[in-house]
Amino acid sequence: MGNKSSLMLQEEEIAEIQDETGFSPSQIERLYSRFTSLDKGDNGTLSREDFLRIPELAINPLGDRIVHAFFTDAHDDRINFRQFMHVLSRFRPLKKNRENKFNSREEKLRFAFRMYDLDDDNKISRDELLAVLHMMVGANISEEQLASIADRTIMEADTDGDQMISFEEFCATLERTDVEEKMSIRFLH
Amino acid sequence: HDGHSQRYQVAKVDFPHVSTPFIISLWIFIAGLAKIGFHVTPKIHLICPESCLLIVVGVLIGLLLFYTGFHSVEHLTPDVFFLYMLPPIILDAGYFMPNRLFFDNMISILIYAVVGTVWNALTIGLSLWAIGLTGLYGVELPLLDTLLFSSIVSAVDPVAVLAVFEEIQVNEVLNILVFGESLLNDAVTVVLYHMFEGYTEMGQENLITIDYIAGVASFFVAALGGALIGIIWGVLAAFISRFSHHVRIIEPLFVFVLAYLAYLNAELFHLSGIVALAFCGITMKNYVEENISYKSHVTVKYTMKMLASSSETIIFLFLGVSTVNDDHEWNTWFVVMTILFCTLYRAIGVIIQTWFLNRFRLHKINKVEQFIMAYGGLRGAVAFALVLVISENVIPTKAMMVTTVIAEVYFTVFIQGMTIGPLVRILNVSTSQKTKLSMNERLHTRLMDYLMAGIEDISGHPMGNYHLRDKFKYYNNKYIRPFLT
């Protein structure tokens, strides 16, 4: 299968993706073979179902949301390899001297923000926060406790008093957090 | 009764009856006083770390005993050190280990601990031996003897490192790297020590290939065996604490006894006791904490801290006292060369390994941090106790080696230990921030963890950190936790 996938990926396409995302050719080829192994329909695109078939993702409480985030820039319900790579490139480690439009601190934070902000209005409402809390914590925390966590979180972050967390407020609360490191993985070669 | 010349006495002096416990209590008392003295003296902690001062107090007491004729009493015997004084410190370190930080940096720590220590032992040993060929030391020093010696001085000491790094408060990654290394390299030290001891007894000319292979294999046995034993006893402690809620008062007891059994169990098989104990603490902590009452938790915490701190105090005190005796054999060139090579090869080793590791690490270790890592490689009581165990019949130059180890320990603890604090400030090493996380930070970092695990899964990362932790969390919550809590 490795042979087949490297045949299907054109040299110039690799170069373009490398240019756009900053991945190295060997990383692109490796991710392409991953892409094709996920692509059960063999038509060069992935659907949500293709993602959700990954067993580990099925037990991840945020699995649905993560998959959903891959499709924000897609016009229909399928994404091609290029779009796949654009999303993944957000999680490349940041290198000081090489700027990139995808993996900046802001892009990483925006991606995390979208995990909450389901209706894309650039605000996290109390309900959106509660929904994520529900997914992440187990059944051993009561409804009241969850509500009070949500209220405290909003109260802490909300500086303009609209009872919601805007992207700017979100970034401000994470000022001390090393987002560059926390939201990066080393992609295999 | 009449025939007796002695009448019934109202009181009498019977020191031999209580001598041992009395002397021990007296030592603990003196150590405690010294510690209090350190903390009530204003600004003294700015000049030198506690460990240095304790050694000085120890030397003073040693001199006093020496000139009053009590010097025949042995203070820091290897048995006392390894069986009673070392375990509390290691258990404390393992039990309060920041697990996540430790496992996130596990690969780097392992490389530093294993490759670094082997590198140090071999380079120091070979260099010392090569210098010895020129006849500079004035004594004959066979290769295996030198390697045995270098395997003792090459390991970074957890007790000394803990004592110094606790005070200077560098950032948590740097801290866990040095500290984790000092814990895990015990396995290497134990193996190298037993290996070269065995080789020396067998004699260099009788060694065949299979002995070398056995040596390498025994490393994995000592390290993994130690860890396994630690985990088994840790799981047992967690499991038992499930049923102890009817007798809350003995809850802390199990934590201590089972951990100690893990240590002794590992030592029984000549495995790494330190690794076993550290892993026992790491394993049991989360489950035990869920099972025991809050009061028991406080008791465990304070007892552990108290035992560790008093034991550390006594170790440094004894280290001072034990250096005052008349068995020393000072060999200037050997001492100078040992200190030089220890410092030099530690620095080279750290630089090479970090260069290699930085290619794979997300959090790069910068130049300043590398310097602190190399500089923070303190030697301490473990090396001292190990060199005392050497048999003089096998290695005739034992006295010289003991003196040299003491010199190396003093050099690192005093010179490096005293200057590392100011250096950290001058070089602007990022220090730890102990502020509490806000609700937002806690929530969002948790979300990022799940998110990154998902991204790793999608990109097909079979051994990613997030992925492994996620998996462990899943199985832990599903199978292990219900069984243990």
pLDDT for B374-411, tens place per residue?
988 888 888 888 888 888 888 888 888 889 999 999 99
Task: Say whether B440 and A153 touch across the interface (CB within 8 A).
Answer: yes
Contacts with A177 from chain B: Cβ below 8 Å: 441, 444-445
Minimal Cα distance from A116: which residue of B?
B447
A178 to chain B: which residues are within 8 Å by CB?
Answer: 363
Residue of A nearest to B465 (CA): A185
Lowest mean pLDDT: which of A19-28, A39-48, B228-237, B458-467? B458-467
**What is the band of B125 on the pLDDT scale with cuts at 50, 70, 90?**
very high
Q: Which of A177, A178, A179 to mutate to test the interface with B (most CBs of B within 10 A)?
A: A177
- Does B256 have pLDDT greater than 70? yes
Kindly state the tokens that stand for A21. Answer: 């995302």
Tell me the helices (H) and strands (E) count for chain A, helix number first. 12, 4
| Residue B116 banded pLDDT, cuts 50, 70, 90 | very high
Confidence at residue B349, expressed as pLDDT on a 0 to 100 scale: 94
Average pLDDT over residues A103-132: 86
Using one digit for the tens of pLDDT, what is the confidence trace for B227-239?
Answer: 999 999 999 999 9
Token pair recorded at residue B48: 């030198």
Q: Say what the pLDDT of residue B325 is.
A: 79
Judge whether B295 and B277 are in contact, CB under 8 Å. no
Q: Is there a contact between A51 and B458 if contact means CB atoms under 8 Å apart?
A: yes
Question: Minimal Cα–Cα distance from B250 to chain A, Å?
Answer: 28
- Give B74's pLDDT tier (boundaries 50, 70, 90): low
For residue A132, the chain B residues in CB contact (below 8 A) are 447
- The owner of tokens 């499709």 is A71
> Do B454 and A177 lie within an 8 Å CB cutoff?
no
At B65 the pLDDT is 83
Percent helix, percent strand, percent coil in chain A, to nearest 5: 60, 5, 35
The pLDDT-based confidence of B5 (bands split at 50, 70, 90) is low
DSSP classification of residue A124: E
Cβ-Cβ contacts under 8 Å, B459 against chain A? 31, 34, 88, 185, 187
- Contact state of B452 with A62 under an 8 Å Cβ cutoff: no
Whether residues A184 and B454 touch (CB distance < 8 A) is answered with: no
What is the average pLDDT score of chain A?
81
- Can you tell me the distance from the alpha carbon of A51 to that of B116, in angstroms, rounded to the nearest whole number? 42
Sign of the torsion angle spanned by Cα atoms B336, B339, B342, B347: negative
What are the beta bridge partners of residue A79? A46
**Taking CB atoms and an 8 Å limit, are A112 and B459 in contact across chains?**
no
Average pLDDT over residues B190-199: 84
C-alpha triplet A19, A22, A26: angle, nearest 5°: 100
Q: The tokens of B301 are what?
A: 């915490």
Partner residue opposite B439 with nearest CB, options A51, A91, A152: A152
Residue A4's pLDDT band, with cuts at 50, 70 and 90, is very low
* Shortest Cα distance, chain B CAs vs residue A111, angstroms: 10
pLDDT of residue A34: 86
Least confident of A175-179, B173-177, B248-252, B341-345: A175-179
Cβ contact (<8 Å) for B438 and A187? no
B3 falls in which pLDDT band (50, 70, 90)? low
Please give the helix or strand (H or E) that residue A80 lies within, else none: strand A78-80
Chain B residues in contact with A70 (beta carbon < 8 A): 458
Q: In the predicted model, what is the mean pLDDT of residues B29-40?
A: 86
- What ipTM does this complex have? 0.90
CB B447 to CB A132 under 8 A? yes
CB atoms within 10 A of CB A159: 12
**CB spacing of B470 vs A60 below 8 angstroms:** yes
Q: Do B445 and A138 touch (CB under 8 A)?
A: no
Helix axes B439-458, B465-475, angle to 10 degrees: 100
C-beta of residue B62 within 8 angstroms of C-beta of residue B323 = yes
In the block, tokens 């230990």 appear at B417
Q: Positive or negative, the Cα torsion across A163, A169, A173, A177?
A: positive
Q: Do B439 and A149 touch (CB under 8 A)?
A: yes
- Confidence (pLDDT) at B223: 86
Which CB contacts under 8 angstroms, 24+ apart, belong to B63-71?
B63/B324, B65/B321, B65/B324, B66/B324, B66/B325, B71/B324, B71/B325, B71/B326
Contacts 24+ apart (CB under 8 A), A105-110: A105/A179, A105/A180, A106/A171, A108/A179, A108/A180, A108/A183, A108/A184, A109/A167, A109/A170, A109/A171, A109/A174, A109/A179, A109/A183, A110/A167
Per-residue pLDDT at B72 = 58
* Cβ separation B470–A56 shorter than 8 A: yes
CA distance B454 to chain A (A): 6
d(CA B453, CA A136): 13
Q: What is the pLDDT of residue A2?
A: 43
Q: How confident is the model at residue B434 (pLDDT cuts 50, 70, 90)?
A: low
What phi and psi, each to the nearest 5 degrees, are found at residue A31?
Answer: -70, -30
Chain B residue whose CA is closest to A138: B477
What integer pLDDT is reported at residue B266 of this predicted model?
93
- The chain-wide mean pLDDT, for chain B, equals 86
Inspect the interface and report whether the beta carbons of A181 and B363 lie closer than 8 Å.
yes
Q: Of all helices (H) and strands (E), which one includes residue A46?
A: strand A45-47
Between chains, do B467 and A56 touch, taking CB under 8 Å as contact?
yes
d(CA B27, CA B8): 33
Distance (Å) from the C-alpha of residue A131 to the closest C-alpha of chain B? 12
User: What is the distance in angstroms between the Cα of A66 and the nearest Cα belonging to chain B?
Assistant: 7
Residue A90: predicted pLDDT: 86
More confident residue, A89 or B465: A89
Of A54, A174, A178, the CB nearest to B458: A54
Averaged over B42-55, what is the pLDDT? Answer: 80
Judging contacts by C-beta atoms under 8 Å, the chain B residues touching residue A179 are 448
Distance from first CA to last CA of chain B, Å, rounded? 66
Q: Please give, rounded to a whole number of angstroms, the shortest distance from the CA of A99 to a CA of chain B.
A: 17
Mean pLDDT of A1-13: 60
Closest-CA residue in chain A for B456?
A: A185
**What confidence tens digit (pLDDT) does each residue in B329-370 have?**
888 889 999 999 999 999 999 999 999 998 888 788 888 889
Nearest CB neighbour to B445, from listed A70, A177, A186: A177
- Residue pLDDT, tens place only, B133-143: 888 888 888 88
Q: CA of B433: which chain A residue's CA is closest?
A: A176
Q: Which two tokens stand for residue B314?
A: 């006594």
Q: What is the pLDDT of residues B278-294, one digit of tens each?
A: 999 999 998 988 888 88
> What secondary structure letter does DSSP report for B27?
H
Is A182's CB within 8 Å of B452's CB? yes
How much is the pLDDT for B353?
Answer: 94
Mean pLDDT of B458-466: 77
Q: Which residues pair with A47 in a beta bridge?
A: A78
Report the chain A residue with the minimal C-alpha distance to residue B361. A186
The beta-carbon neighbor of A34 closest among B444, B445, B460 is B460
Q: Are B200 and B148 in contact (CB under 8 A)?
A: yes
- Taking CA atoms, what residue in A is nearest to B463? A188
Q: What percent of chain B has pLDDT over 70?
A: 97
Which residues of chain B have a CB within 8 Å of the CB of A188? 460-461
